[in-house]
Every structure is written in C-alpha cells, then in structure tokens.
Chain A
C-alpha cells in the first residue's frame, strides 16, 4: 500500500523542524502537543474541514514564497503601547501602565507562571474537539516565541503588537484578562512569507478583551492564525480582522462561552483579487446561559478571488436563553470570483434564538446606476458601494477612533488597487 499522503507530509514537515530546547512546563506542553499532532497528522485536501481551502502551502516543509517587504503601519497615529516582534527579537516598552504585565514566552518558560502554564496548549487542545486543528498543535509544539500578556486592571491604552522580520515564524501568544480587568490588543505587520500564529485567551468573569487585527496589503503571504478563547461570566470578547489581499489566509477562531451572560462578537472584512484566497473558519460554543454571540463576515472578491466561510454555532444542552447570530456575505465583483460557505448550527437546548444568514451576489446595479447618473466615475462608485457593504463588519469595532482609523485605511487601500 502506498504511504498515506498526510502521514508523509507530516513526517516531512516534522523533519524540517526542531523542538525548541528547554524542559519545564513548556517542554511538557510541547511534547503533549506533538503527541496529539502525530495522532491526527497535518491536514490534507480530503479533510472535510479543509474542503474549500487547500492546506498544502501551510503544511509543506518550507514556505513557497520569498520574504515580503514590510508594509506601512495601519495604526499610524493611534496612541498605543507598541511591542515589536522582529524575527527572534521582541521589544517590550520598559514602562507599562498599572494593571498590565507583558513578557515573552521564553521568559515565562523559565519562570513558573501558573496562569501561563494552565493556558498554554490547554485552550488549543480544548479547541480541537470535536474537529482537530493540527496546525495549531504544530504551533503549540514548535512555537519559537510569543507574548505573554496579563491584565489585572482596566488598561486604557491599547497594546499594538507589530510583527515582522520572520521567514517562517511560529508564534504563540497568551493573554489572560483577570476578573473585572480589560485590555485591547492591536495586531499588524507581515510576520513572514508564511506564518503560523496561535493566540490563547482566557477572559475571567466580568473581564473585557478587544482585539483588532489588520492583515495586508501585501499579496505574497501565506498566513494561518488561530484564536482560542474562553469567556467567563459577564465577560466580553470582541475581535475584528481586516484582510487586504494575501495569497492564502486561513483565520480560525474558537470561542467558548463558559460563564453566564458572556458576550462574544467576531467580525471580519476582507477584500482581494486574483490569487487571493481567504478563509474564515469560526466555531462558537455556548456552554452557559443567557449568552450572546455574533459573527459578521464580509468579503469582496475580484478577478477570480476565492472567499471561504465556515462558521458553526454549537449550543450545548442547558445553554438556555442563548442569542446566537451569524451572517456571512460576499460581493462578487466579476464572474470569475468564487464564494464557498458552510454556515452551521448545532443546537441542543430549546429556549434559544439562533439564526444564520448567508448571501452572495453581484454589486447592486440600481445603486451603481444611481451613483453613475450623479457623475461618479464607475470605479469610484464601485469603491463606495464596496465600502458600504463592508461597513457592517467594521461597525463591530467598538472604539470610534479605531473604527475611523480602520475605515480610512480600508478606503485608501481600496482606491490604490
């Protein structure tokens, strides 16, 4: 019998990697993740979970692309605490506001930080049930570094994590928001030609975590991210991602609402053309009463670009009074673009209101005609309609200043295409 292609691909990739040195709790967590990975193997084309995205570029031993040039800072002008990850170098500001601790994974490995120990690989492992996420397992085993962020109070200034300078980075971040604390994390930069970034987040009761990520506008990049979050009672989790271009992006998010009255909003706005392939895969688990979850995903596709959305809301038995909402929409600007969606609901509690919607179509001819008849050139009119289409996702950004900043960035990038 011929060798199993998944087995072969996994062996090739593992042969190209070295398990980072160091024992302790991190070493044990790495070995555990490696064991789990070897049991399930890296994803292949025939996996149902990779039905619409070919994982090969993310799996193969070496990245297929050259290291891209760094891009402009999308958060320029935003007053933030900047942390830079430049290859293996991590620079953290010397002075941090009260209620905030930031360290590196390497530091945490040496110290016996109990919360980090309890989080690392654990959220990720929990997020692999029932569907395994082998690329995240690979990350937990081989992550070279990452940030370890803990908020113990209300941190007003956002933390801006600017990542670059890597060739094929595997980064693993940990975020702990303690009871009643709040923090905002902004992410930007091109981590490398290929990147694998996992963020494990634990939001304790009454905590608040905001996350805004901007990817782009480089084209030659293969990115894979995972967000694994657990939400305590009355906590809030809001994550928004703007993606501009990129050959291959697979952003996965697994959010588990474990405390009553928790709120989770995840949103994404993406646009791209040509060889753009953008995949959002989201899994929201309701395991407590009276929680609210929202997922809003919008994609604008041009010149044969491919958009993928796989979203699932699971409401466990006993998670009564759940309010779950999911919308995935795409705008196909020409006949060659493709949108593939699998929005799922799996519900085991009766007193719930869950819904999902998905629409796909071309730009509204009437609206376009209206703008053209008012003398707006076709291209500008199209951009205007694209912006209004993406606006619903952008509205998920709570902070007005940040929303305005991102909107401006989006309009600028769009007009440059």
Chain B
C-alpha cells in the first residue's frame, strides 16, 4: 500500500466514523428493530432444541455429540452468583435459542434476493456500503477496495455473510462463519474448539457449547500477517432471543491478526440474553489483537430492558513469544459479566488487557481479566478504567497468578475508577497470587471523582458541563483508547461521551 493509499484509507475511516457517530442522537443509537420474517426454533431448551440447531446448521455427528455433552453438563450446573450484579431470575426455558432471517434459508444469489430490510439493518449498523453489498453477496469490483476491513455480520443466530473472502483466501487466511468452518474445515474445528474454553468451563460457556448457533472462525496460517483487519458485527434483533455466538481464532506460528468486534441490539423493555464464547489459540511468535466495542442496548434510564451479557473470552498463548492483546470498550448491556483472560503458557509470552467500562443509569458491569502465568519470562499488563454514573455499579474483578514455574515473570496492573454523581458505585476486586520470588507483581488501584480543577479549566474555556465531562473522561481513558485500532478509536471516543449523556447537572 502506498503512503497516499494509507492516508486515504485512514481519512476515509475517520470521516465515515465521525459522520456515523455524529448522526446519532442523545440516547441509544442502535435501538431500532428490523421487521424481518424470522425462522424460529420453538421456545425453551432441551436436547431436541440442541439437535435442531445442529441440524439447521447441517453439522456432522461429532459436532452434535459435542453440543449434547455440553447440554447434559449444563443441566447439572448452577448459575454463578459471585459477581456484583443483580438481576431477576432468568427463565432459560422462556427464550428462543435459534432465530434466523427467513430470507437466509437459501443463500442469496444477488442483491435482489436479499431482504431489503436486512440491507437496511447493515446500513443502520454503519457497515460501509461496499461491504453491505458484499455481505449481501455482490462481488466487489476489482481494484476498488480502499478500505481493508473484512466483515462478518452475525444477525441473531446466523452469520449472514463474510466479506473479502477471496482476498483473504489468497493469503491463506480463513475467515468465515463457524458453522461453515464446521463443514469446510472440520479438522481445525475438531482440534481447537473447546481447547481453550472447555465445555464445562462455567455455566454460561457450557450453555453456549450446547446452543451456539453461529459466530466467526479465523485461521491464520504459519508466517502470515493477515492483510487486513477482520471485523465482526453482532446484532440481536428478534425478541426473546438469546444470542450465543462462538468465535474461534487460531494464529499459527509467526502469524498476526487484528480482530474487531462490534455489538448492538434493539431497544426492548424485556431483557435479552447474550452468552458468547471466544477462544483464541496463539502459537509460537504469533500475535493476536482482539478489540471489542460492546454497545448492546443498556436498558432505559429506569433500568428496564437491556442485554444481559455473560461472556467468556480466553486466549491461550501456547507458543513461545506469543502475544495477545485484549482491548475492550464496554458501554452497553444492562448487566455485563466478562473477563477476557490470557493463559501465558509459552515461554516469554505476553498478555495485555486494556479496558474501558462505562456504566450509566442502572447498568451493572462486573468485568476484568485473568492473567495466568505458567511459562518462564512471561509478561502481562492490565490497564482498566471504570467509569460509573447515575445509579450504576461498576466492578473490576481480576486475577493475576504466578505459578511456581513462571520464573522471572512480570505483571503490572492499574485499575482506576471514576465516579460521577453520588448514587453510583465503583468497586475493585483483584486477586493476586504469587508463587515464586523471581517474578514481580505490582498492583495499583485508585478511585476518585472528576477533578474539579480540570472541570473548571474546561468550563472557563466555554465548554458546557457535559462536553467538559466527556473531555475529562476521554483523558482518563486515554491509555486504553490509544490501544484501540484506528477503526475503533474515534467511534469509542464518541461512545464514551454519548454513554455519559445525562449523567451531569
């Protein structure tokens, strides 16, 4: 790519992203609902539903067996209650575990075959026009691709299309929906699925193992630097539907990939369930960057509705000198329960976790990370910024564990909380376990309010209170925002401001 191309690409992203965010008004921006004819499985969960999901996805027997094993384990498990979140009992039998746009029963051959409402959805999601067409099945004109982001969109239970497949294939990269991967690349799925997050890992991950309907699959072969950023948009649309996507990323020796994930859902009075699993396998010298902007519907200002987001994300740095970087901007969801983790198994492997969690109104977030140091000379860094406003509760929960064999390892953790208003809460619950003396572990946490002097300075420069808070908060989050890919950084900054609207004055 020439310098000029690179600039154009960057500018394109900037202008587009800014435009998109600006066009959004004060409240939740993705609260629309697309009236699309849906193909539902019956409500509730049973072995039959698991079989049905497997059948709909045209899966082989081993996959069905794997799901059933998960289901059987799940039946005997109890919902965890240790997180600092409170929500009414979830009736797992009052959910649809499978829903897909009826028009997707047959893959569309051309743009005309695609339900126009689905296209509208992509548009509202802010998926660029070109990719909308590609998602809908239209081939791109050669030489016209100036924005290198491959997109996989997951709409309720199904992946509706993945862009740039051909170009990726040229590089040997596989980027497709997980159901496709089960059919096309069973050897890879069989080898890695559940190897990082086992079926019985925890309540929600087990549920996901049984009923996951789709998600993304990424395979980067040895020595390949993925030519573009990969991106997935998740959208829950149908009512009373849980979304259970499963993402599997495999980075072979010496490879590199940057993966972006965005999530939205319509505004509904009834809370909706989302229980995803992300597994990442990183081999020798490989590097994976995983960035999330989670903007599921957070519920209204009275705490009605919203997404219950119970997510298990884990990266296994199996290879020596492998590296994983989790970056998350969590602004949505009524309840968040999410701990992207790194198992630092390979020697000199590295894990990083950068997080911004914003909770406003009645939102509750319990999020953090686990850094499990098993190999020698491993390093990890945690930077967590929690912002609470309104009546929200925001908890950082994390584990740093140095095993006896993880000699000469290093961890640095910084957790900062900011409180806006006197009715919210900010909490820090770190676990630190050090079992050898050649490693160093440092943990720092602070809690404070928006600095009066900074506010005064901004106000004296003519900013209104809300703008000033947004600016101060963006400054507070700077270290994390800088870790985001360009694609997301602008959007995340705006999101930070939008999420805090109505929190002052």
Report the separation of the CA atoms of residues A342 and B439 in the bound assembly, to the nearest whole angstrom: 18
Does A65 count as interface, using CB distance less than 8 angstroms? no
Does B111 count as interface, using CB distance less than 8 angstroms? no
Interface size classification for chain A: 35 or more
A358 with B432, Cβ < 8 A, contacts A345-B426, A345-B447, A346-B427 known: yes
Report the separation of the CA atoms of residues A347 and B417 in the bound assembly, to the nearest whole angstrom: 10
Does A59 count as interface, using CB distance less than 8 angstroms? no
Q: How far is the CB of A48 from chain B (nearest CB, A)?
A: 7
Does B446 count as interface, using CB distance less than 8 angstroms? yes
Q: How far is the CB of B437 from chain A (nearest CB, A)?
A: 3
Does A67 count as interface, using CB distance less than 8 angstroms? no
Which single residue of chain B is at the shortest CB-CB distance from A324?
B447
> Is the contact region of chain A dominated by helix, strand, or loop, or is it mixed?
strand
Interface residues of B (CB under 8 A from A): 82, 404, 407, 417, 419-449
A360 with B424, Cβ < 8 A, contacts A343-B445, A345-B445 known: no
A361 with B447, Cβ < 8 A, contacts A320-B422, A344-B427, A347-B419 known: no
**Chain B residue contacts of A350, Cβ below 8 A:** 419-422, 424, 449
9 contacts across the A-B interface (CB closer than 8 A): A317-B423, A318-B422, A353-B446, A356-B443, A358-B432, A359-B440, A359-B441, A359-B443, A361-B440
A318-B422, A330-B434 are known contacts; what are 18 more A-B pairs with Cβ within 8 Å? A320-B422, A332-B436, A340-B431, A342-B429, A342-B432, A345-B428, A350-B420, A350-B422, A350-B424, A350-B449, A352-B448, A353-B448, A354-B448, A356-B443, A356-B445, A357-B444, A361-B437, A361-B440
A344 with B441, Cβ < 8 A, contacts A349-B422, A350-B419, A350-B421 known: no
Question: Contact string, A313-336, partner B, CB cutoff 8 A, digits 1/0?
Answer: 000011010000000001011111
Residue from the list B425, B430, B437, B449 in contact with A335, Cβ < 8 A: B437
Does A402 count as interface, using CB distance less than 8 angstroms? no
* Interface pair A356/B441, CB less than 8 Å apart: no
Report the separation of the CA atoms of residues A238 and B445 in the bound assembly, to the nearest whole angstrom: 24
Closest 9 pairs between A and B when the two form their complex, measured CB to CB = A332-B437, A350-B419, A361-B440, A341-B432, A360-B434, A345-B428, A362-B437, A355-B446, A358-B443
Does A338 count as interface, using CB distance less than 8 angstroms? yes
Which single residue of chain B is at the shortest CB-CB distance from A357?
B444
**Chain B residue contacts of A320, Cβ below 8 A:** 422
Q: How far is the CB of A360 from chain B (nearest CB, A)?
A: 4
Does A118 count as interface, using CB distance less than 8 angstroms? no
**Chain B residue contacts of A340, Cβ below 8 A:** 431-434
**Chain B residue contacts of A357, Cβ below 8 A:** 442-445
Does A271 count as interface, using CB distance less than 8 angstroms? no
Does A88 count as interface, using CB distance less than 8 angstroms? no
Q: How far is the CB of A46 from chain B (nearest CB, A)?
A: 12
Which single residue of chain B is at the shortest CB-CB distance from A362?
B437
**Chain A residue contacts of B439, Cβ below 8 A:** 360-361
* Interface pair A338/B429, CB less than 8 Å apart: no
Report the separation of the CA atoms of residues A348 and B425 in the bound assembly, to the nearest whole angstrom: 4
Which single residue of chain B is at the shortest CB-CB distance from A341?
B432
Does A339 count as interface, using CB distance less than 8 angstroms? yes
Q: How far is the CB of B124 from chain A (nearest CB, A)?
A: 36
**Chain B residue contacts of A334, Cβ below 8 A:** 437
Report the separation of the CA atoms of residues A346 and B396 in the bound assembly, to the nearest whole angstrom: 10
**Chain B residue contacts of A354, Cβ below 8 A:** 446-448
Q: How far is the CB of A316 from chain B (nearest CB, A)?
A: 10
Report the separation of the CA atoms of residues A239 and B364 in the bound assembly, to the nearest whole angstrom: 36
Report the separation of the CA atoms of residues A357 and B446 in the bound assembly, to the nearest whole angstrom: 9
**Chain B residue contacts of A358, Cβ below 8 A:** 430, 432, 441-443
Does A101 count as interface, using CB distance less than 8 angstroms? no
Does A378 count as interface, using CB distance less than 8 angstroms? no
Report the separation of the CA atoms of residues A350 and B387 in the bound assembly, to the nearest whole angstrom: 11
Which single residue of chain A is at the shortest CB-CB distance from B444?
A357
Report the separation of the CA atoms of residues A336 and B446 in the bound assembly, to the nearest whole angstrom: 31
Does A195 count as interface, using CB distance less than 8 angstroms? no
* Interface pair A317/B437, CB less than 8 Å apart: no
Does A196 count as interface, using CB distance less than 8 angstroms? no
* Interface pair B443/A335, CB less than 8 Å apart: no
Which single residue of chain A is at the shortest CB-CB distance from B418?
A350
Interface residues of A in 349-400 (CB under 8 A from B): 349-362
A333 with B428, Cβ < 8 A, contacts A343-B443, A350-B420, A355-B445 known: no
**Chain A residue contacts of B448, Cβ below 8 A:** 352-354
Residue from the list A339, A345, A351 in contact with B449, Cβ < 8 A: A351
**B423, B434, B444 interface centre (most CB from chain A within 10 Å):** B434
Report the separation of the CA atoms of residues A305 and B17 in the bound assembly, to the nearest whole angstrom: 55
A48 with B82, Cβ < 8 A, contacts A346-B425, A350-B419 known: yes
Report the separation of the CA atoms of residues A271 and B41 in the bound assembly, to the nearest whole angstrom: 63
Q: How far is the CB of B324 from chain A (nearest CB, A)?
A: 23
* Interface pair B438/A362, CB less than 8 Å apart: yes
Residue from the list A48, A330, A335, A347 in contact with B447, Cβ < 8 A: A347
Report the separation of the CA atoms of residues A356 and B420 in the bound assembly, to the nearest whole angstrom: 20
* Interface pair B436/A335, CB less than 8 Å apart: yes
Which single residue of chain B is at the shortest CB-CB distance from A361?
B440
Q: How far is the CB of B379 from chain A (nearest CB, A)?
A: 14
Residue from the list A48, A332, A344, A348 in contact with B428, Cβ < 8 A: A344
Does A337 count as interface, using CB distance less than 8 angstroms? yes
Which single residue of chain A is at the shortest CB-CB distance from B439?
A361
Which single residue of chain B is at the shortest CB-CB distance from A353?
B448
